Amino acid sequence: MKLTESLALALKNIVSSKVRTLLTMLGIIIGVAAAIVIVGLGNGLEQYVTDSFSDLGTNTLTVTVMSRGSTRSLDAEDMYELVEENSQYLDLCSPTVPMMGYVKIGSETVDSTTSQGVSEDYFAIAGLEVASGRGLQYSDMATRSKVCVIGAYLNQAYFGGNAVGETLRVGGQSLTVVGVLAQQGDTPEEGGSDDCLYLPYTTAERISGEASSYTITMQSEDYIDQSVAALEAALYEVFQSDSYYTVTSMAEMLETMTSMINILVGVLAGIAAISLVVGGIGIMNIMLVSVTERTREIGIRKSLGAKERYIMQQFVIEAAATSALGGIIGILFGDGLSAVATTVIARISEESITVAPTLGAVALAFGISVGIGILFGYLPAKKAARLNPIDALHYD
Amino acid sequence: MNPLIEFQQVCKYYQMGETTVVAADHISFQIYKGELVAIVGSSGSGKSTCMNIIGCLDVPTQGTYLLKGQDVGQMNKNQLAEVRNQLLGFIFQQYNLLPKLNLVENVEIPLMYAGVSKRERRERARAALEEVGLGEKWRHKPMELSGGQQQRVSIARALVGHPAVILADEPTGALDSRTGREVLGMLQDLHRQGHTVVLITHDNSIAVQAQRIIRLEDGQVVYDGPSNAPEAVVTPRAAGGGSL
């Protein structure tokens, strides 16, 4: 007897008892759907984090100096020199000075805007483009000019798209808008990546104090280890202690974030796997009942010449087909749920995370569900195959 | 000519807790190709044990059973399944058709286990259904048929694999007397066509339809001879004064 015939027989049996089959498959359906959504969500999160980091560039390093308490200090000029000295690894450098005060436009106060003092190289480092007007220039730094470049949100929401030449106030300082950045998000939103403002770091230092954080790019991503080592060595030389500075690479942070997401996804997928095992036990349970119910059928088949392995084959394939069908339904269900999750996430938060199941996850889920059917179908099938034909024939 | 079925001192013992039940006690007989034999006896006479052994559903505890010259007692489960498939055709009292399958699917089961291709077995199963007069109803499910019709389907299933022996276990037991006679007539037709038919029954009026009767009592053969002899239908003890 061929496998295809056993399969046809199994499908016939599955179709003839739809409700029972559906109930049997429920555990597998839920398990597979959950696994697919979780893996999809994990992939979406990872993609989201990767995208966010690559906006900043994975070849950037962040140096934070905490000179409070130390008798030694390091200012922006020193840092520029330090970068220059290690120019075989390092490329551009920009201090970043966070501005605490709100942005005031006319009589309105905008409290959502992220304002930073940066150097003329910052736009190249962060991959920002100027859509109209000009960016910041070296002369702005040198003369501490009272100018700024704003994001698309402020431009559209408060200046009707014609911000260049207008003035606004940050931390009590009046600044002239000289440029507007190109839009980054899908729609410029309050508090989003387009709600930003950049001014010369020298101007910012006057309002908020000395720069303590620097964003530095490397010549190449391959130089992470050398760059970090060179910067740490130079900073140690200045401070004579490693407790006054930290050097972080975006790539390392990305790695840390990714591995954290992976652990999270792993734990959740483990929970989904438990559901699959429970589903498998459900299949075994129903198959055992089915063997008892079909004792007479087994006896008839045996009396007509079915060998033990055919009976075995029939029951194992039926279990495998049931759980494979459950797997397919679970995959479709999981895909649907992923699409719903994507829409819901987009609606309730400003970030968009695409919950996309990978082909690998789908194939694995299908494989596991077939495997579970075979594994948990084996015992009942063995029981069926071993039945004594005489007893089975007289079973009522 | 070698016998088709040969029992040589066949014994079957069952262990029921502490006691040993003797179901077959040194039974010997021979059945030749083309015979219509009734094995008759009351319940507990050992006829069911005989039928199980002839049908290769069971093997003797002692003694030898040769089917077409092959020693069944020496066979493993797979070989027994093959023998059942190739050499035997079963007709049961309860028809034993599979309720979820239609008639043609029921009839083709033995051919499926024999590895016959789907097309060929469908053709042969349809032909076998034609033979028992149910060719038109091949799509029906067994439950849509009368008892007599169902038994005809099971005759078709027994015939489809061209077995050497057709083994009928109380084939009329579940039928009214008129349809019972019809089914019996079909078995006689098969006999006339040259098939070897072994009929197991407790009913003398059925048994006398065969040419030859083997009467069992308490696991032993008490009569083996033509069905038209008076001893064939009367138990020796009953003849000695008791009533049946």
The pLDDT averaged over each successive group of 10 residues in chain B (244 residues) is: 91 90 92 94 89 92 93 92 94 90 93 92 94 90 92 94 93 88 91 94 89 92 88 60 41
**3-state SS class at A396:** coil
Residues 101-130 of B with CB under 8 A from A: 109-110, 112-115, 118
Shortest distance between the Cα of A390 and any Cα of chain B, in A, equals 6
Identify the pLDDT of residue B28.
94
The answer to whether B58 contacts chain A (CB < 8 Å) is: yes
Identify the pLDDT of residue A57.
67
Shortest distance between the Cα of B158 and any Cα of chain A, in A, equals 9
**3-state SS class at B236:** helix
Identify the pLDDT of residue A187.
79
- For residues A292 and A264, what is the distance between their CA atoms, to the nearest angstrom? 43
Identify the pLDDT of residue B214.
94
CA dihedral sign of residues B126, B129, B130, B136: negative
The answer to whether A66 contacts chain B (CB < 8 Å) is: no
Cβ within 8 Å, pair B113-A304: yes
Mutate to test the interface with A, among B77, B95, B102, B117 (most CBs of A within 10 A): B77
Is residue B154 within 8 A of residue B95, CB to CB? The reply is: yes
Cβ within 8 Å, pair A308-B77: yes
Residues 12-41 of A with CB under 8 A from B: 12-13, 16
Predicted TM-score of the model (pTM): 0.71
**Alpha helices (runs of H) in chain A, residue ranges in sequence order:** 3-16, 18-56, 76-85, 122-126, 138-143, 152-159, 201-208, 224-239, 250-293, 295-303, 308-348, 359-386, 389-393
Q: Which long-range contacts (CB under 8 A, 24 or more apart) does A368-372 make?
A: A368/A32, A368/A276, A368/A327, A369/A28, A369/A31, A369/A32, A369/A276, A369/A279, A369/A323, A369/A324, A369/A326, A369/A327, A369/A330, A370/A320, A370/A323, A370/A324, A370/A327, A372/A28, A372/A276, A372/A277, A372/A279, A372/A280, A372/A283, A372/A323
Rounded to 5 degrees, what angle do the CA atoms A152, A158, A115 make? Answer: 60
Residue A158, pLDDT > 70, answer yes
Identify the pLDDT of residue B216.
93
Contacts of B115 in chain A (CB under 8 A): 1
Average pLDDT value for residue range A131-144: 91
Is residue A234 within 8 A of residue A214, CB to CB? The reply is: no
Average pLDDT value for residue range A301-324: 91
The answer to whether B78 contacts chain A (CB < 8 Å) is: yes
The answer to whether A7 contacts chain B (CB < 8 Å) is: no
Least confident range from A124-133, A220-229, A372-381, B227-236: namely: B227-236
Least confident range from A121-125, A184-188, B82-86, B204-208: namely: A184-188
Shortest distance between the Cα of A281 and any Cα of chain B, in A, equals 26
Of A1, A308, A393, which is closest to B115 when you measure between CB atoms?
A: A1
Rounded to 5 degrees, what angle do the CA atoms B157, B8, B31 make? Answer: 45
Amino acid at B103: L
- For residues A221 and A229, what is the distance between their CA atoms, to the nearest angstrom? 14
ipTM above 0.95, yes or no: no
At A85, is the pLDDT very low, low, confident or very high (cuts 50, 70, 90)?
confident
Identify the pLDDT of residue A220.
82
Measuring CA to CA, which residue among A377, A387, A362 is closest to residue A32?
Answer: A362
The answer to whether A301 contacts chain B (CB < 8 Å) is: yes
Identify the pLDDT of residue B243.
41
The answer to whether A300 contacts chain B (CB < 8 Å) is: yes
- For residues B153 and A185, what is the distance between their CA atoms, to the nearest angstrom? 74
Identify the pLDDT of residue B235.
60
Q: How many residues would you count in chain B? A: 244
Shortest distance between the Cα of A26 and any Cα of chain B, in A, equals 24
Of A1, A296, A393, which is closest to B112 when you measure between CB atoms?
A: A1
- For residues A31 and A331, what is the distance between their CA atoms, to the nearest angstrom? 10
Cβ within 8 Å, pair A16-B100: yes
Q: How many residues would you count in chain A? A: 396
Identify the pLDDT of residue B239.
45
Residue A9, pLDDT > 80, answer yes
- For residues A44 and A80, what is the distance between their CA atoms, to the nearest angstrom? 38
Identify the pLDDT of residue A368.
86
Q: Which two tokens stand for residue A237?
A: 């030389």
Place of tokens 């690998």: A360
At A393, is the pLDDT very low, low, confident or very high (cuts 50, 70, 90)?
confident
Identify the pLDDT of residue B237.
55
Measuring CA to CA, which residue among B138, B93, B89, B129 is closest to residue B110?
Answer: B89
Residue A101, pLDDT > 60, answer yes
Identify the pLDDT of residue A1.
63
Q: For strand A167-170 and strand A103-105, is the pairing parallel, antiparallel, or unpaired?
A: antiparallel
Q: What percent of chain A has pLDDT over 70?
A: 97
Encode burial over A133-155: b for 16+ CB neighbours within 10 A, e otherwise: bebbeeebbeeebbbbbbbbbbb
Residue A318, pLDDT > 80, answer yes
- For residues A91 and A95, what is the distance between their CA atoms, to the nearest angstrom? 14
- For residues A55 and A73, what is the distance between their CA atoms, to the nearest angstrom? 31
Average pLDDT value for residue range A149-167: 90
Instruction: Tell me how crowded residue B79 is: count the other CB atoms within 10 A of its CB.
Output: 14
Average pLDDT value for residue range A43-49: 85
- For residues B189 and A322, what is the distance between their CA atoms, to the nearest angstrom? 46
Cβ within 8 Å, pair B114-A5: no
- For residues A310 and B51, what is the distance between their CA atoms, to the nearest angstrom? 24
- For residues B222 and A283, what is the distance between their CA atoms, to the nearest angstrom? 53
Residue in chain A nearest B88 by alpha carbon: A304
Is residue A317 within 8 A of residue A6, CB to CB? The reply is: yes
- Provide the mean pLDDT of chain A: 87
Shortest distance between the Cα of A395 and any Cα of chain B, in A, equals 11
Q: What is the per-residue pLDDT across A269-290, written as a single tens digit (0 to 9) for each?
A: 888 888 888 888 888 888 899 8
